[in-house]
Amino acid sequence: MGQSQSSEPPKEIPIEQLSHELALRFATRCFSHLEIAHYKDNFKTLADHQEDVEYWKEDTLCRFLALPEALNAGPVLYQMCTYLGAFPFPSLAPCILTREATLKVVTIMTGRYKKILKKGNQDKAKLLFRSLAVFDRKASVSSPRDKPDMQAIVDEQLPEDMKNAKAVETRITGFAIDDPINDGDEDEDEDDLALAALDSLDAIEVFKHDQRQTIDRKMNHALIPVDNFRKLITLLLLLASIEPLTPLGTYGESLTSDKIKALNTSADAIIAAFDPDPHSNGIRYQNFVKTVTFTLPDLFEPLSPLFEHLLFSKNINLNKHRDGSDVPVVFPVKASPIYRPSDDSASLDDTDLTDTLLSQLSTSLRLTTPTGIQTNIYTSNARFNLLYSTSSSGTSLSSFSRQVISWQSGTMLLLSGTTGSPDSQSITLGAYLPDRWTDSTNKYHAPSSSTSHDPNNADAPCLFLLSPRQAMFHSNRYNHTIPASYLHLKTGIALGCVIPPPSRSRSSQTAVPILGPVSVSIGPDMSTATFQHDGSAGQGAFTTDAGLELAQTSSSSSSTSSAATTIPTKTTISVTELEVWGITFPTEAEEDEMVKQAKRLAWEEAEAARRRGVNFGGDQDGARALLEMAGIVGDRGRSGGSV
């Protein structure tokens, strides 16, 4: 009898109860008591009530986060929240945004879940895809008639003793992506993040039972509508520099028609990186995960500080004096990383590097701080200082060398122009170079194993493409022969090109750099450039972008690919603008790097003037012979200094 009792299956726990327990686990282990107090005050102050349920509507969420109406991203973000609030049970989505559900949204958006769900750290991309995806391949935006009735949602979330038989029979079906369709066709990997959540609650079997009623293995049938995704991306670009205490309304106030146009242009380039299906106008799961992982790792980074705002309530002021007087709390807006000196701000009005373009670049490029931490552009506190531009300094390589060679730290090169016929289009690309430039005109600098080849050094150079589509070309850790950058006044600028060794013959011409698999060559007149992205050419200084390589292959074998976002393996560019920006991480204790740069350039000018003004009396021939031997004037082929 004892054996028969021990073999009885354990009592099945309702998934609603497990969802409640997970929310409590998040509250106690992922947040401080003060943060929870602020969160409760924010939620209760703005919550609507129906029966005994407190919840936030779409309008409430949009008002609290001060989402600009011009971008129309509120409905998309609210859809994401109603899915994430049901975590880890997709069958409960869309859920009503109760206090517990909204807390789970904040935990996931801010990354606080990593404190207890370490196993699911790499699975957030799958969760974000589900929250944005729909199953209908034809309709990009769900009809308002398809939205569940609010009363039905509230009834569904009520405790068991308050539900009637009719409510149970009319259970909400949820998002179309969660319907059990074509079971057995695919075999997707399990949801590691959800498994980690339920593993912490000892409820793995409940999760597996719930998954059999959903399409966790069917995400290849779902897609993210491009129109919806574009609205979200424009919001993410606008909020790229947001901090947890940044006043949210300031971003909406800065919106102008030109700003919105620039945001849409950058958003289109980012969407092109996902290679949307031309027939359904949607983004598939595999493309989404691949692009977010390798090309756009920080695309959703602004969501973290955005939802951190729910953890700060203006009603709770710890600075309040005992006499009852309030001390206003003022949080200044962080200045743009693009340095604009007060005495020369007009010179930066027409630069290619704008705040919007920097926001777009921040979705892909990470910088390494002086302390060795690799982080997002905005959280790194980096500053971009304009060193050279063809519009202000001319198209002379000598001017380029003078302005750039003396810079002591890393730089970013930005090139814009148009491609050749027959399909002429605008193109913007660039390079991040953590090492200082060297001029190989008079002295050949042989390639060496620098930081770009150290697999343990995160601060490696890279190339990037920002238009017509976004792509990243990371440093090849196995490269030991091809320099990331090369400058010669006779041959121009080379990025990732093979540099032939110099000939010992004095009469031989300077060897021209040879294009590498992923490389950029800028001519000595700086009017034309060549960009090559050819995976079949072997390995070079930079690796190819898998998405761009696949798009190039598809465009050559099929006519369905969009020519507007695909470039050939070798592209000739008519250069419109070339800029070089010095990157610094300023501190209050150190002198401003631009001041140091100005001092260095002033010294070089004074030294050049001093040399030109050397007075050797009346012996002009003797003076010239002495300068020739020193290698300052005359025959530069002579070494000078020896008789």
Task: Give the pTM.
Answer: 0.81
- The kind and range of the H/E element at 34 are helix 33-46
Q: What percent of the chain has pLDDT over 90?
A: 44
Residue 617 DSSP one-character state: T
- When the pLDDT of each residue in the chain is averaged and rounded to a whole number, the result is 79
CA angle, 214 then 219 then 221, to 5°? 105
**370 compared with 100, residue with greater pLDDT:** 100
What is the average per-residue pLDDT within 531-550?
91
Q: Reply yes or no: is the peptide bond before residue 90 cis, omega within 30 of 0.
A: no
- Using the predicted structure, report yes or no on whether residue 7 has a pLDDT greater than 70: no
3-state secondary structure labels for all residues of 93-161: CCCCECHHHHHHHHHHHCCHHHHCCHHHCCCHHHHHHHHHCECCCCCCCCCHHHCCCHHHHHHHHCCHH
Instruction: Collapse the DSSP code of 202 into the 3-class scheme (helix H, G, I; strand E, B; otherwise coil) and give the result.
Output: coil
Residue in the block written with tokens 């380029």? 400
> How many whole angstroms separate alpha carbon 486 and alpha carbon 492?
8
pLDDT digits (tens, 9 = 90+) for 397-428: 988 988 898 888 899 999 999 998 677 899 99
The tokens of 441 are what?
């005109």
Q: Which residues contact 368 (CB under 8 A, 6 or more apart)?
A: 374, 375, 380, 434, 458, 459
Query: Which has the closest alpha carbon to 543: 632, 448, 596, 478?
Result: 478
> How many whole angstroms separate alpha carbon 61 and alpha carbon 55?
10
**429 compared with 619, residue with greater pLDDT:** 429
> How many whole angstroms separate alpha carbon 439 and alpha carbon 420?
30
Query: Which has the closest alpha carbon to 623: 636, 607, 634?
Result: 634
Q: Where are the alpha helices (DSSP H) in 202-284?
A: 204-211, 226-238, 249-253, 257-273
Per this entry, what is the length of the chain?
Answer: 643
pLDDT digits (tens, 9 = 90+) for 291-334: 999 999 999 999 999 999 999 998 887 666 555 555 566 667 77
pLDDT digits (tens, 9 = 90+) for 48-92: 998 889 999 999 999 999 999 999 999 999 999 999 999 888 888
Question: Cα-flanking dihedrals φ and ψ of residue 495, to 5°?
Answer: -125, 110
Q: Which residues contact 54 (CB under 8 A, 6 or more apart)?
A: 43, 44, 47, 48, 98, 99
Residues paired with 528 in a beta bridge = 574
What is the average per-residue pLDDT within 440-462?
61
Q: What percent of the chain has pLDDT over 70?
A: 66
b/e per residue 487-522 (b: at least 16 CB within 10 A): bbbebbbbbbbbbeeeeeeeeeeeebbebbbbbbbb
How do strand 570-584 and strand 528-533 relate by DSSP bridges?
antiparallel
Strands (E), 273-391: 282-284, 366-368, 374-376, 383-389
- Using the predicted structure, report yes or no on whether residue 178 has a pLDDT greater than 50: no
Query: Which has the closest alpha carbon to 47: 39, 57, 37?
Result: 57
Report CA-CA distances (Å) from 560 to 221, 278, 290, 555, 604.
20, 7, 21, 7, 56
Instruction: Collapse the DSSP code of 520 into the 3-class scheme (helix H, G, I; strand E, B; otherwise coil) and give the result.
Output: strand
- Using the predicted structure, report yes or no on whether residue 572 has a pLDDT greater than 60: yes
> How many whole angstroms separate alpha carbon 73 and alpha carbon 147?
17
Residue 583: per-residue pLDDT: 93
Is there a contact between 92 and 174 (Cβ–Cβ < 8 Å)? yes
Q: Mind giving me the DSSP string for 376-410?
A: ETTTTT-EEEEEEEHHHH-S-HHHHHHHHHT--S-
Residue 80 DSSP one-character state: H
